[in-house]
Amino acid sequence: MPTSTAPATLAMTTIDCTDPAAEARFWAAALGGEVAHAQDEYAMVTLGEQRIGFGKVEGWTPPPWPNESGTKQFHFDLAVEDLSRAEADLTELGATKPADQPSTDWIVLLDPAGHPFCLTLAANWG
């Protein structure tokens, strides 16, 4: 029988990488958050009540793009007002744009550690 309250709440999403502080700086700037903590082994960004953590994993390698096998595991979809402006701003912060792009409605970028993420117009989200 369903209950009116869930047994848990999502406190944070943590992402594996080789340089947690660099990832935190990139994502704080990209999403307008704050680097709440940064050290060699771990960093955290706060976005109001939301938190994104970055944990150092020795030998971590970024997922390939394109990724037909699905080994990227997850990615962020970011809603933006202007695709080309957001692409320019994010590449200035350190993202890169792979040659292989899925469509003209979405732009795939890679964060400094190589995690793919997508940009699409905010209007597409309703």
Q: Is the pLDDT of residue 5 over 70?
A: yes
Domain boundaries, the chain: 11-58, 74-126
Mean pLDDT of the residues in the chain: 90
- For domain 74-126, the CATH class is alpha beta
Separation CA 33–CA 26 (nearest Å): 10
Q: Which two tokens stand for residue 18?
A: 């080789």
Q: Is the pLDDT of residue 19 over 80?
A: yes
Q: What pLDDT does 103 receive? A: 85
Which pTM value belongs to this model? 0.81
Degrees, nearest 5: CA angle 61-119-55: 35
Nearest to 88 by CA among 77, 78, 100, 96: 96
Q: Is the pLDDT of residue 107 over 70?
A: yes
Separation CA 109–CA 47 (nearest Å): 21
Q: Is the pLDDT of residue 1 over 60?
A: no
pLDDT digits (tens, 9 = 90+) for 35-83: 999 999 999 999 999 999 999 999 999 988 988 887 777 789 999 999 9
Separation CA 56–CA 18 (nearest Å): 5
Separation CA 87–CA 73 (nearest Å): 23
Q: Is the pLDDT of residue 2 over 80?
A: no
Q: Does domain 11-58 have CATH number 3.30.300.30?
A: no
